[in-house]
């Protein structure tokens, strides 16, 4: 962890305890302690990871950034604000929204599954950059028949309906339901073009009717999460995500 010293008011306002001016008053009232001593001056420099900082007797655990995994439900959009629709931020607790997280990339409104939310712009940039080719796995059901030719075509790199070329991708076919004429399977992409899974499957002659992201880089969707639920990533999970980009 960093040895960077920060002003006490910066640490506490970052953790959304109060604004800097409010903190100044609160410090004068003796409500803030650092390593067991009342801190009346909020300009005091502290090590946010080592020093024991308490507000009204409650320990404040500093975190520079926040990371959550959500099992996005269908019908909700991957944005921070929208005039018409419910957004993924509307599904977060108010205390978490205060940190101003944003979704890492987008899932379509009707797509469900693993969506990362964070305050870490740098990690988000890395995870979405084509340079790092982070794999994302989608489970799908499609009306129509896909076969070994489809698998080969994906492995070679498809050309979409508007002549856009996409990178080679791994298509795995799980099942073809002959009565319903529905193919189910998995598609692994290392890029994220607009409606990419749906457009790739369309070029192969089928139509996606269900789409769920089940993994993103080193993260698999937590099966304990019901649709609409979310949880914080562990420090190890965050480290693994960073490792994946450092390796590339
Ligand atoms: N590809 C799609 O078509 N939709 C998504 O939501 C994600 C990938």
Q: Are strands 207-216 and 112-118 parallel, antiparallel or unpaired?
A: parallel
What's the pLDDT at 194? 96
Which residue's CA is the nearest one to ligand 1's atom 3? 195
* Nearest atom within ligand 1 for CA of residue 108: 6
- Of 196, 202, 221, the one to substitute when testing ligand 1's pocket (max ligand atoms within 8 A of C-beta) is 196
- Best of 138, 140, 171 for a ligand 1 pocket test (most atoms within 8 Å of beta carbon): 138
Q: Whose CA is nearest to atom 7 of ligand 1?
A: 107
Q: Tell me if 67-130+218-246 shares its fold with 135-216.
A: yes
**E strand map for the chain:** 6-7, 32-34, 37-38, 45-46, 53-55, 58-59, 67-72, 102-103, 112-118, 136-143, 170-177, 182-189, 207-216, 219-220, 230-232
pLDDT at 2: 52
Q: Determine the Cα–Cα distance for residues 35 and 127; give it in Å rounded to an integer.
A: 38
pTM, to two decimals: 0.93
Query: What are the distances in angstroms from CA 176 to CA 112, 137, 139, 206?
Result: 22, 19, 14, 12
Per-domain residue ranges of the chain = 6-59, 67-130+218-246, 135-216
Q: Give DSSP secondary structure letters for 61-130.
A: ---S--EEEEEEPTT-BSSS--SSS-BGGGGS-HHHHTT--EESS---TT-EEEEEEES-HHHHHHHH-G
Beta strands 32-34 and 37-38, pairing class: antiparallel
Q: Which CATH number among 3.30.70.1560, 3.40.50.2300, 3.40.50.720, 3.40.640.10 corresponds to the domain 135-216?
A: 3.30.70.1560
Catalytic, 120? Answer no
Cα–ligand 1 centroid distance for 109 (angstroms):
9
Q: Are 96 and 15 in contact (CB under 8 A)?
A: no
Task: Kindly report the number of other CB atoms within 10 A of residue 194's CB atom.
Answer: 10
Name the fold adopted by 67-130+218-246. Alpha-Beta Plaits (3.30.70)
The pLDDT, as a whole number, for residue 94 is: 96
What topology does CATH give the domain 6-59? 3.10.290
R_g of the chain computed on alpha carbons = 23
Closest to 90 (Cα-Cα) out of 65, 213, 81, 98:
81
| Weakly modelled stretches of the chain, pLDDT under 50 | none
Taking a C-beta distance cutoff of 8 angstroms, is the pair 197, 142 a contact? no
Distance 36 CA to ligand 1 centre (A): 51
CA of 111 to the centre of ligand 1 (A): 7
Question: Which residue among the candidates 47, 82, 108, 229 is catalytic per the annotation?
Answer: 108
Ligand 1 atom showing the smallest separation from residue 200 Cα: 3
Nearest CA, atom 4, ligand 1: 195
In the structure, which protein residues have their CB atom closer than 6 angstroms to any atom of ligand 1?
A: 107-108, 111, 195-198, 211
Determine the distance from the C-alpha atom of residue 203 to the mean position of all C-alpha atoms in its chain, rounded to a whole number: 28
Q: How far is the CA of 237 from the centre of ligand 1 (A)?
A: 24
Query: For ligand 1, atom 2, which residue shows the shortest CA distance?
Result: 195
Alpha carbon of 10 to ligand 1 centroid (Å): 39
């Amino acid at each position: 962890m960093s040895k960077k010293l920060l002003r006490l008011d910066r640490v506490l306002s970052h953790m959304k305890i109060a604004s800097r001016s409010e903190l100044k008053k609160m410090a004068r009232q003796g409500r803030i302690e650092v390593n067991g001593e009342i801190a009346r001056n909020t300009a005091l420099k502290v090590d946010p990871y080592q020093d024991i900082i308490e507000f009204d007797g409650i320990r404040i655990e500093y975190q520079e950034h926040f990371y959550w995994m959500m099992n996005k439900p269908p019908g909700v959009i991957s944005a921070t604000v929208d005039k018409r629709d419910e957004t993924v931020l509307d599904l977060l607790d108010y205390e978490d929204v205060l940190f101003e997280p944003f979704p890492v990339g987008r899932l379509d409104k009707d797509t469900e599954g693993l969506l990362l939310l964070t305050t870490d712009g740098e990690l988000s940039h890395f995870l979405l950059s084509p340079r790092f080719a982070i794999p994302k796995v989608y489970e799908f059901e499609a009306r129509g028949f896909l076969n070994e030719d489809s698998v080969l075509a994906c492995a070679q790199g498809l050309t979409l309906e508007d002549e856009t070329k996409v990178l080679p991708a791994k298509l795995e076919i799980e099942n073809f339901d002959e009565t319903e004429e529905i193919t189910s399977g998995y598609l692994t992409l290392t890029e994220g073009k607009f409606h990419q899974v749906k457009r790739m499957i369309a070029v192969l002659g089928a139509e996606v009717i269900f789409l769920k992201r089940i993994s993103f880089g080193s993260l698999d969707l937590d099966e304990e999460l019901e649709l609409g639920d979310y949880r914080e990533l562990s420090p190890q999970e965050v480290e693994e995500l960073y490792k994946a980009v450092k390796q590339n």
